[in-house]
Structure 1
């Protein structure tokens, strides 16, 4: 009788320990639980909800709608000299993906509406280049990580091409800072295609070594260093005035119609030259990217 009682007590104790252990293990977030991991990231912790991000119309209206370069210290490796590029655009050396690559896009936040817009317009490049864009829910395997106002960042930017490989630990590689549910279709198209141009290796066209823009530098500094941009002098130099050196890029003829070109106000040039707000791929964009990523 005593033996049976001891056996029952031992069995119950074992079951209770086992249940407690299972409960403790279930409370530990695993690396496969991407939502739990994301919640611990500082940039996400400081990011507002999709609902707040997409209804802050007043603040979005005040945001300067200018893409800001994301500069890195990557070595300027030139494209293979066998790459015979005869069309127009600017490609930063060393940023080209492997031809035919499928680029996996991970969304860090954002409504399904904005996510669908992004992947739809990103694929405009794939219509003319031997590249493919697919959405993945696995951040660890992604090539491009897109966020909307992450950490309340209202700028729009993207790392250039394979520079994104430096951020394999789940860091954001692209941001859209002024999108909301009322953003005009032409603005969505313009900005998304532009940023994904960066993501496949293209730099800003107005910084081409053969750009013909005659900037009125004092006026350029006054404009961009004042509100709403409030840039530093260095930011103006890096984003507007300092053209790439020929040894740093592979380029051909200058294309003012390129989707990768900043708008140019004639008041900021010495000869009244102007460039409008390009909202879609130019013919030269299409021809150039075909040469860079041929079928």
Structure 2
């Protein structure tokens, strides 16, 4: 068995404060035995304006946020799924919302750029990530220490075809760092996460922002680890808002058991 953890934060407009909070929570999860630890989307910044991301955007492969992730992974000897950070895009005044993964030696082992950009307007709250973000276009999965992991980010969760693509060579675990709004999270977060786990017969590790941020946005939290049968193994803070983490033991034997008893992946025809 291997312990995986999903960190929950309530990020602010101050990068230094956010990195300090992330470092503290990662250290706590590592001390609890986690060898794979995932940070949420926007762990490094929840700005007062959408374009605040532009001011802290980093070149691919270099910058204080990327160095923080590399150093933190090395310090604790963990595989660190680095939530997301803004990396400069090819389009002017746009950034990629990039999930970068670092191994225990501090080197980057994967990068995934969020493909699906969130938009929502219910007349009371409105969001449109495309104002600042440039979408990615390539699904990313990687193998490390005997685990095959697929990467996704937040709004990607609503597009099951992405996960089916990631399962062409079946993954053992799917990561979903997120900053779901309270409104959409209350309705759909756990429902969709459990569906992705059940239909792909693998673990889902979903770290999330969870609380009311200084910019007025409220995120749903409920950072969680879900097993291949759709059972919730661990829920950060029992669903309460604030900083914390979900942590659980994952095993290949459980994956094999579910896939043997109900061989749905082998029954696919499309």
Smaller-chain TM-score bracket: under 0.3
TM-score computed with the length of structure 1 as normaliser:
0.24
Structure with higher RCO (Cα < 8 A, 6+ apart): 1
Higher helix share: 1
> Which is higher, the Rg of structure 1 or of structure 2?
1
